[in-house]
Each structure stands twice: as C-alpha cells, then as structure tokens.
Chains A and B, each alone.
Chain A
C-alpha cells in the first residue's frame, strides 16, 4: 500500500515538475498559462470590473478575438469560483455578475508577469524594439 502510494506521488511529482516547471501549480491547473485559456481571459476581463456571462463573452471577443462557447465559459467560471479566484455578486435581472477576488488578482498578476517575461525575451530576440522587423 505504501509502495503504491510512493510510486503514485513520485509520478505526480515528476509530471507536475515536467508540466509546470517553476511556475506555480495553480497557474497550470487553472489554465492561466496560455493567452487564450478561458480562465485567463475571464480574469483579464473581470479586472476591468464585474460582468455577467454574456458581457464577459462579448468583452473577451473584443479584446482577444476569442468566441468562448457556453460550455467553456461556464466551465471556467465554475472552476474559478470554486478556487476562490472570482465571486458572484447578487443577481441582477436573473443574471449573476462576477467579480475578481484578491486571490484572483494575485493569480492574474502572476500570470501576466510570466507572460511578460516571454514577450520581453521574444521582443528582444526579434529586435522589434529596434524597429528592425516593425
């Protein structure tokens, strides 16, 4: 029994290490790593202020060009709320607006910092700042 658990934890440790690297595990689990991950898009949209589902989807379509399906949108909302990264506000016209929590803001900031690092390196290596490819 202990051996089985040991093997399991070993596999889990290495799989997490391989997948997430030095990023915080929440980032991977919540899908805050890629720019078009629904949780990241939702947190980014809510950073502006509370919105209900349809307003969220419209905002995301405008700033990211991503049209989230109903299943993906509400699946991500449920996960974010479950992990305390967003919270529902009292119902308005049969719709719950959602707002980002302090923990959600911190996660979003962490994800932005990670992405910024990649963007900075890519920008520098392509020489975009010097206007070579601009």
Chain B
C-alpha cells in the first residue's frame, strides 16, 4: 500500500460530501506536512474525531449544517437509537422481573404493580408508534427496494438478518432452558445457563447494533417528503415521552422493591441475600439514562427545527 493510499485512507472517516469538497485539500496538507513519513497518532485521532463530527453534521444529528428535513430525520434516528437501548435494557429487565409477580408478597403491592403496568402500556404504545412510523415510510422503502441503490445496501441487510436470526434462535433456546428450570433463585442457576445467557445477551446486543446501523443507512437513503419527515418527527417526540414513562415505571418498581422487598433484588445476585442496588440493575438504569439523554437531545432538536420552520415566512402563491 503506497503512502498516497495511506493518506487517503485517513479520509474515510469523513462523509462523502465533505471528502468531495475538502478531501483533496486535506490529502495535500498531509503530504505537505508529513511528506513521505508516517502520520503521527495525534493527527490520526484528530481526523477520526473531526470526521466523525462531520458525519454527524451531515446526518443532521449535530450542528446546523444540514437542511431542516435532514435534521429532523437525524434527530428522529437518535430517538430510534434510544428505543434500541431501551430494548436491550428491557430484555434484561424482563428477565430480572419475570418471577416477581409469583414471589412478591401482597404487602404494598399497588405501587410496583402500577409502575410495572404503566411501563408495559408504554412499551405497547412504543411498538404501535414504531408500526405507524413503519407504515409512513413504507412507500419510500418500496421505492428504494425497486431502485438501483438498494444493491449497495445488500451486505448491510444480510449482516443484520443473519445476526438477528442467530440472536433470536439463541434467545429462544435460553428462554426455554430458563423456563424448564422454573422460578428458582438465581443463586442455584447452573453456571452453564448463566454463561449461555451472557453469550445470548451479547448476540442480542450485536444484532441490535447491526440492525440499527442498517436502519440508519436505509432511513438516510429513503426519499421522504417534507410532510412525512415532519410526521416522523412528531412520532419521535411521542416515542421520547414513551421512553420517559418506561424509565419512570422501571425506576419506581425498583425503588419500591428497594424500600419494601430488598430480598427480591438480593436474590438476583448469587451469594448475596440482600442487595438493594445490584450492579446489573444499576447498569440497566445507566443504559436507560443514556437512552433518555439521546431521546431528549433528539426531541429538543426536532422541536427547534419545527419551531424555526413554522416561524419561517412561507412563499406566496399566485394562482
């Protein structure tokens, strides 16, 4: 591989539109500054950071460089990513709380029951919102499937489908195994099942990551109208509200158990009888908080763009 190729390989972090405009200039700058010598690590890191930032800008996720519709699309994708994080946290949360209705004594039951119920209703609402969003983008998706540009995405789609299939199959096996053992305390769970659950969790995370990347790539290639983009923005804001309700429900459930039934949370951790804040639950909470932050940023950006669009003077039509 020649030095020129190495110089250009540093530009891969930048979006294509940026490379078309500044790529040659930057390559010549690297040539002028470093000649035929190696590029220092600090310079490489600066380009990785700068290129990633430019990608976020081009995708409308950061800054004001992109047009209004692209920014709404990017912000909606942020909320979608937040939903993905909540799915990961939700799967783990469901595995922790699956035996709760059976083992929970009937003292102080209304608050955790209400919190769990609210979270479940919110999850259903979130799925409905996703379905409506899917219906909205369906015509554009069909158009994309019929176009030539679909071929360039085939590798991504294949990776997403394969990883989702493997993760799904692994999850079914693990869930069946877990149900076969019944509602026994985690301390007596076979180590093989715990290892399989960890691997299954990693597979699910990998599948979600692959699906998210594919979804993002597809959404950016969809030819969406201004109206559909705005509707997606509104749905994304509604989804952010749903995520907040899920978070509030899960946290209320957790806090209620910490106060009234700490033994239940302790039973989630092997060899500990009482652990009001198990590490796994804290990690789940952190994942949800990160998701909430993403959703909050996305919602704020959508509101900002829509507010500006509404204030902008509309062109006069002469009939």
Contacts and interface: CB of A to CB of B under 8 A. Distances in A.
Interface stretch (A42-50, A72-80, A105-113, A117-125): A72-80
A95 interface: yes
Interface stretch (A4-12, A16-24, A126-134): A4-12
A54 B303 contact: no
A28 interface: no
Contacts of B10: 70
B30 A70 contact: yes
Q: How large is the interface on B (under 10, 10 to 19, 20 to 34, 35 or more residues)?
A: 20 to 34
Given A71-B46, A74-B50, A78-B54, A57 B307 contact: no
B33 A57 contact: yes
Nearest to A72: B46
A71 B44 CA distance: 8
Interface in B1-43: 10, 18, 21-22, 24-26, 28-30, 32-33, 42-43
Q: Is the interface of B mostly helix, strand, loop or mixed?
A: helix
Interface in A53-112: 53-54, 57, 69-75, 77-78, 82, 94-96
Nearest to A12: B304
A8 B33 CA distance: 44
B125 interface: no
A5 B303 contact: yes
Contacts of B42: 69
Contact of A54 (B32, B45, B54, B304): B32
Contacts of A74: 22, 25-26, 29, 50
A94 to B, nearest CB: 5
B65 interface: yes
Contact of B33 (A5, A70, A72, A75): A70
Nearest to A68: B46
Contacts of B54: 75, 78
B237 interface: yes
A72 B110 CA distance: 56
Interface in B45-62: 45-51, 53-54
Interface residues of A, number: 23
Given A5-B303, A8-B300, A95 B28 contact: yes
A82 B66 CA distance: 11
B299 interface: yes
B22 A54 contact: no
A54 B33 contact: yes
A4 B50 contact: no
Given A8-B303, A77-B22, A72 B29 contact: no
B25 A4 contact: no
A71 B39 CA distance: 13
A82 B22 CA distance: 12
A96 B25 contact: yes
A74 B13 CA distance: 13
B32 A9 contact: no
Contacts of B24: 94
A53 B33 CA distance: 10
B38 to A, nearest CB: 14
B298 to A, nearest CB: 12
A71 B47 contact: yes
A98 B46 CA distance: 21
Contact of B47 (A54, A70, A96): A70
11 contacts: A1-B237, A5-B306, A8-B303, A8-B307, A12-B304, A69-B42, A70-B29, A70-B43, A71-B51, A77-B22, A95-B28
Interface of A: 1, 4-5, 8-9, 12, 52-54, 57, 69-75, 77-78, 82, 94-96
Given A69-B42, A70-B47, A71-B51, 7 more contacts: A5-B306, A54-B33, A70-B26, A71-B46, A71-B47, A78-B54, A82-B65
Q: Which 8 A-B pairs have the closest CB atoms?
A: A71-B50, A71-B46, A69-B46, A54-B32, A53-B29, A75-B50, A71-B47, A5-B303
